A and B are shown apart, each in its own frame.
Chain A
Amino acid sequence: MATTRTDSSRTAARAVPRTADRPGRRGPRRSSRRGGLHTLVFLLPMLIIFGVFSWFPIGRAILMSFQQTNLVTDPSFVGLENFQTVLADPLLWTAVKNTLYFALLALLFGYPIPLVAALLMSEVRRMKGLFSALAYLPVVVPPVVAVLLWKVFYDPGPEGVFNTLLGHVGLGPYAWLQDADIAMPALVLEATWAAAGGTIIIYLAALTGVDPSLYEAAEIDGAGIWHKIWHITLPQLRGILLITFILQIIGTAQVFLEPFLFTDGGPANSTVTVLLLIYRYAFTNSLGGDYGAATALSLMLAIVLALFSALYFRLTRSWSNS
């Protein structure tokens, strides 16, 4: 019964799309549509969860950044004092500098390598799945496990895994995480290893979307492989390259796990990042958490990041529409 009805309504809709559609659409739906009680029942889980754990805390964050809150005494408004405290903290500028350094290194390591790998992989004819699975494997390793495993690799002794490997070519041993100059690049290396697979998959998906007729047209004009990559492939990937760039900036600005677990900000504060500083303000303060300063700094970071994510959404929208 139900199937025949579906079929007949579909043929009717096809025959006279507008007029046949209208009465059927408006009529029977009325009862449950347009904000009835049933709709509200379905919306209830979302309204409660988002209300309590998303909308309310967002509002509270803005309020708290202008308050002094420490759970012991009642919160009191202090104007811009929290922002002034944070901006006067000499460690803030170290943290900003370190975070920018992390972001820059992450771009240097993590931006060109996945692109080259994806370009090569897209030409693979057999066992393509094996290539992508291998590239993606590090992404599914739990981040904490990855960091702790790499911490073992970074053993500073001459018998550490990386020092043994480099010893074969006459380099090292390096102190890795204990050396203020190498610690940050060492963190970025692990972070790149853990994230590159995701970027490769995004590029691979984008590469299948490149219209082959563009290549064919270029070949008629006698274009070689490098010419085609430079003048067709890369311009076609322009949108997705910009998106991964922005995603990487947003991600690296919030880096926490690597500096927290590898070095806890050391040696000599060389790996203190903005998020680590927020965490310290709120949760490792011996005088009770300075929640005001922590939210003030989060808010400042969020405004910078919101600009980037707004850009991201604009781009993905125009990119998926085209």
Chain B
Amino acid sequence: MSTRQADRGVIAPTDWKRPGVRWSARAAHAALLAALIVIGLGPMLWLAKSAVTPTQDTLRQPLALWPNGLDLANLTEAWTRVEIDKYFFNTVALAAGAWAVQLLVAATAGYALAVLRPRYGKVLSGIVLATLFVPAVVLLVPLYLTVLDPPVLGTSLLNSFWAVWLPAGANAFNVLLMQRFFSNLPREVFEAARVDGAGPYRLFWSIVLPMSRPIIGVVSVFAVIASWKDFLWPMLVLPDPNLQPLSVRLPALQQFVELDVFLAALAISTLIPVALFLVFQRMFLSGAGLGGAIKG
């Protein structure tokens, strides 16, 4: 990924000077850009437009731009009457808790395995990594039964945010990412800190964590996005509508809310992930998600 390679691709620099090549490349790029705008951005623009359009216009002329004017009331109605605000804050709470649990588990485990390196570390990482091979389907039913009747606790976690937060922490990919990053940190710094009298807790909190901001950022953004996207699991463990996140509530809303307000609700649900994407574009587009694709 060096900068040298960005200098050229398949087309030779000398070829770029030939007008025929240049113009056909430009034409191809213009066509690609147009296609990307229509396919990538188009549905989002349509959603944004329809969120502030009266139902009748969206039904009769779905592609016309406000034939009978705007209807901004859709957004406020979705937010208040349909209680999108409640589901929105449920989604935020679920994402925040899942993020905290994932980070706690991944950072402490990564630190123990990569920096403290216990004798049994290799075996332990092996058992953690092995769970990557187990597709999520296998866990669906037994995990559900575990949540219904968790060990030690003695009370069902059904209709509790903990039922979403805690299982989110069992993410082997996060542990792997943290472990890899920590083991690439310069060990001399750890030695120096130890010589200065820092114990394992001090070393973790004051040295390793501050040095690991990039990887913490990556894990955090992907944790929040994944939680925002999650549907099946929260649907199973949060049957109480008052606790459900947007993703679970939206399909149910479709049946008893007018189309314009429903589309406004969809638009509101899309805002945060798209905003996160625009802010952290680099992280998403650098291929850091390559491994994240495993978990779909």
List A residues at the B interface (Cβ < 8 Å): 1-2, 5-6, 9-10, 13, 24-25, 28-29, 32-36, 38-40, 42-46, 49-50, 52-58, 60-61, 64, 69, 71, 117, 119-124, 129-138, 140-146, 148-153, 155, 159-161, 164-165, 193, 197-198, 201-202, 204-205, 207-212, 215-216, 219, 225, 228-229, 232-233, 247, 250-251, 254, 256-257, 261, 275, 278-279, 282-283, 289, 291, 294-295, 298-299, 301-302, 305-306, 309-310, 312-313
Contact = CB atoms under 8 A, between A and B. Distances in A.
Contact of A144 (B21, B134, B146, B231): B231
Contact of A53 (B10, B166, B200): B166
A210 B246 CA distance: 42
Given A57-B143, A135-B36, A142-B246, A52 B8 contact: no
Contacts of B196: 1-2, 5
Contacts, number: 333
Contacts of B148: 71
B284 A9 contact: no
**Which among A42, A165, A309 has the highest number of chain B CB atoms within 10 Å?**
A42
**Which among A50, A124, A306 has the highest number of chain B CB atoms within 10 Å?**
A50
A34 B281 contact: no
A133 B118 contact: no
Interface in B258-296: 259, 262-263, 266, 269-270, 273-274, 276-278, 281, 284-287, 289-290, 293-294, 296
B108 A42 contact: yes
A229 B131 contact: no
A36 B140 CA distance: 36
A9 B192 contact: yes
B290 A205 contact: yes
Given A120-B32, A131-B36, A256-B232, A50 B189 contact: no
Interface in B160-195: 166-167, 169-170, 172, 175, 187-189, 191-195
Contact of A302 (B21, B138, B290): B138
Contacts of B277: 133, 136-137, 140
B168 to A, nearest CB: 9
Nearest to B275: A140
Q: Which 5 A-B pairs have the closest CB atoms?
A: A205-B287, A46-B109, A57-B142, A42-B112, A54-B170
Nearest to B37: A134
A62 B119 CA distance: 30
A149 B104 CA distance: 36
B63 A161 contact: yes
B41 A134 contact: yes
Range of interface residues on B (Cβ < 8 Å): 35 or more
Given A197-B40, A205-B287, A298-B141, A45 B10 contact: no
A289 B145 CA distance: 11
Given A42-B204, A53-B169, A2 B192 contact: yes
A130 to B, nearest CB: 8
B286 A144 contact: no
B225 interface: yes
Interface stretch (B54-62, B65-73, B74-82, B209-217): B54-62
A136 B116 CA distance: 39
A247 B136 contact: no
Nearest to A216: B12
A148 B50 CA distance: 14
Contact of A136 (B59, B109, B194, B284): B284
